[in-house]
Chain A
Amino acid sequence: MIGAGKMKQYGNVLEKPLSKGRHEVSLSAFAFLFSELVQYNQTQVDNIAELERRLEDAGYAVGARVLELLCHREKGNRRETRLLGILSFVHSTVWKVLFGKVADSLEKGTEHEDEYMISEKELLVNRFISIPKDMGTFNCGAFVAGIVRGVLDSAGFPAVVTAHFVPMEGLQRPRTTILIKFAEEVIKREARLG
């Protein structure tokens, strides 16, 4: 039962000084952990869509916390209120802190006004992953899509975020594109703000 073995707890996480975020662990430690996340979730689902949704949920929880952390540490407690501002925050600040580099590109969709894309040649979470043929379009990038959705949603920009593989000419491995489709209200608000 949750709550069994109750012990007295001291200290408060908010009283601890905020680290500068420069600590590192080995890439393999993260890769092992992420692989366990994927494998565990595989045991909980019976189709690919569900698996992607669960990975996205896990990412969402990370994203919501990342927004809070980075707004406090990197932006003097200010949060972006404009669409392009928040997108470049994700593409630059968030990416840089989490993955050590700015994302390869940030583009606006040409066909739809409400679509934006962040692309990465070699997304960290896809680096050690090969997708078996019977798993079709499954993309571990769903976890990163979840992080992006978590950041955007918590900042007041609800969106549908999905990860896709895009084959690249001359490259062995496809790049990963995170497709962001903003909710209607976000686009309307943005238009009103001019």
Chain B
Amino acid sequence: MAPLPPRSGDAVFANIERVNAELFSLTYGAIVRQLLTDLEEVDEVNKQLDQMGYNIGVRLIDEFLAKSNVSRCADFKETADVIAKVGFKMFLGVTASVTNWDADGMSCSLILEDNPLVDFVELPDTCQGLYYCNILSGVVRGALEMVSMKTEVTWIRDMLHGDDAYELRVKLLKQVPEEYPYKDDD
């Protein structure tokens, strides 16, 4: 069977079941608050959020591939575009833009202007070191790892810290060559 053409993020988003974004952001807020209470240190909370995101990314990639019909990306540039235009749209209903490529095309920035995680959120003075949306960077890292790309994802700008947008820096560390335990005709 010929592969189906890839679907746009809008098309996928329009056809899947959705929930109110406020339930989503308030639930996320409850998670962050629990972590702050349990772990007490902002750095530990950042780490735990990243880990949770990673766990999600590892599972989310399957649904992403199944519903978007996206197949193997030719290069990292295309990968970044697909994350920004299809991935973010399909799950969070927002689109990111890709900019600030470095010379060798190994790292770029994903810029988010809308971010459904941060509705109603204001960081108190005691949590200034917190990367509130750190779960997102974990998701991107986990999902890319499942398609053989080791990446490093860091926050450059954060509106909760007073910046004018959310900027995620994604750096490709290495492509892990896939080793199939079986051949195509098995």
Contacts and interface: CB of A to CB of B under 8 A. Distances in A.
Interface of A: 1-13, 19, 21, 23-30, 32-34, 36-37, 39-41, 44, 54, 57-59, 61-62, 65-66, 69, 97-100, 124
Contacts of A36: 31, 52, 55-56
A67 to B, nearest CB: 11
13 contacts: A1-B41, A3-B128, A6-B128, A9-B160, A23-B93, A24-B18, A27-B16, A28-B60, A36-B52, A37-B30, A61-B26, A100-B19, A124-B19
Nearest to B35: A40
A28 B120 contact: no
Contacts of B35: 40
A7 B33 contact: no
Interface residues of B, number: 51
B127 interface: yes
B17 interface: yes
A32 B26 CA distance: 15
A19 B31 contact: no
A58 B19 contact: no
Interface string B1-43: 0000000000001001111111110111111011110101111
A24 B125 contact: no
A110 to B, nearest CB: 32
Contacts of B36: 2
Tell me if B's interface is mostly helix, strand, loop or mixed. helix
B16 A28 contact: yes
Contact of B26 (A4, A8, A13, A62): A62
Contacts of B19: 24-27, 30, 99-100, 124
Contacts of B63: 28
Interface string B43-66: 100001000100110011001000
Contacts of A57: 34
Contacts of B73: none
Contacts of A98: 20, 22-23
A26 B41 contact: no
Contacts of A99: 19-20, 23
Interface of B: 13, 16-24, 26-31, 33-36, 38, 40-43, 48, 52, 55-56, 59-60, 63, 90-93, 116, 119-123, 125-129, 135, 160-162
Nearest to B159: A11
B18 to A, nearest CB: 4
Nearest to B90: A26
B85 to A, nearest CB: 15
A27 B27 contact: no
A50 to B, nearest CB: 13
Contacts of A32: 56, 59-60
Contacts of B125: 3, 6, 9
Given A12-B122, A25-B92, A26-B17, A2 B42 contact: yes
Contacts of A27: 16-19
A21 B34 contact: no
A34 B91 contact: no
Task: Please name the 7 residue pairs, one residue from A and one from B, whose CB atoms are nearest each other, closest first.
Answer: A5-B129, A23-B21, A24-B18, A13-B122, A27-B17, A58-B30, A10-B162
A26 B16 contact: yes
